[in-house]
Structure 1
């Protein structure tokens, strides 16, 4: 933990196509090696596939609900107390909830081998939107871990 002052958070710009900060965060999560145009092509292609499968739904609402479904409410954090390390359950800050949900969706989409990333991302977003899939399973696993360690909740500070 740094003892210097905390970094100032800059406001994130909206993406050019959907004018949404959430889509910008998804693009930045997908982006590797600074290739933002490639990440935009992947995300917009995934949205196009979502619309192609269900023409009556809005991809922004699908993404918002998918992220809301995959957000963890509590997680465990390792704390050393008297030589022992305890997994202490803590509430997750709202910004980290969104970051974790998006990271899980992108990572599990990337892990789907044999299909294009835009198809895998579209499938992962739709799975999370419907309350199933790997990101939801990961969230449940994090919640179970926190529930199992609630006896150490008094160590949080």
Structure 2
């Protein structure tokens, strides 16, 4: 490469929990630069999660449930297309830690958008609860990604 790599940008921690991962999530959730609205959706979704899961166990923390859900969604391996001698192979590769987080965030937001609850905070809360239990569309996406990598394990010697 001719140019040097761009400098890594660091995000500031969020105002309520002081966590940078929350800020990254809210930045991905944000549409048209409306960050305060995105924060409101996220915090209200965590309140809904605490309310729904608090019926069984009153010591439920919404942030911990969200982090558990995100860990259940993040993929370990993925397939990348690699061209070798005219044929294209799906080569399984390990996912870098930053990419794991960004894929997990992206999948959680996209699949919560596709849910059929009324408001975005309810959709996000539903997806967080489902993912923390190891079910839901985002966890299925992760399982499909892992299954694809497992099926193409024979091509792992083409790794770059």
TM-score bracket, normalised by the shorter chain, equals over 0.9
Post-superposition Cα deviations, 1:32-54, rounded to whole Å, max 9, x if no partner, equal: 12111111111011011112222
Q: Report the Cα distance in structure 1 between the residues aligned to 2:31 and 2:43, rounded to whole angstroms.
A: 16
Q: Which runs of 5+ in 2 are unaligned?
A: none
- SS at 1:86 equivalent: strand
Is 1:19 the counterpart of 2:3? The answer is no
Distance 1:114 1:121, change over 3 A: closer
What is the CA-CA distance between 1:3 and the residue it aligns to? 4.1
Is 1:138 the counterpart of 2:137? The answer is no
* Cα-Cα RMSD: 1.2
What is the CA-CA distance between 1:113 and the residue it aligns to? 3.0
Q: Which runs of 4+ in 1 moved over 3 A?
A: none
Q: Report the Cα distance in structure 2 between the residues aligned to 1:91 and 1:45, rounded to whole angstroms.
A: 34
Superposed counterparts of 1:70-149, under 5 Å = 70-149=73-152
What is the CA-CA distance between 1:6 and the residue it aligns to? 1.1
| Greater mean deviation of Cα atoms: 131-140 or 4-13 | 4-13
- Is the Cα–Cα contact under 8 Å of residues 117 and 123 in structure 2 kept in the other structure? no
What is the CA-CA distance between 1:141 and the residue it aligns to? 0.2
Q: Which runs of 5+ in 1 are unaligned?
A: none
What is the CA-CA distance between 1:25 and the residue it aligns to? 1.3
Q: Which residue of 2 aligns with 1:39?
A: 38
Q: Report the Cα distance in structure 2 between the residues aligned to 1:126 and 1:94, rounded to whole angstroms.
A: 23
Paired residues, number: 156
- SS at 2:80 equivalent: strand
Q: Report the Cα distance in structure 2 between the residues aligned to 1:105 and 1:35, rounded to whole angstroms.
A: 19
What is the CA-CA distance between 1:12 and the residue it aligns to? 1.5
What is the CA-CA distance between 1:5 and the residue it aligns to? 1.3
TM-score between the two structures when normalised by the length of structure 2: 0.93
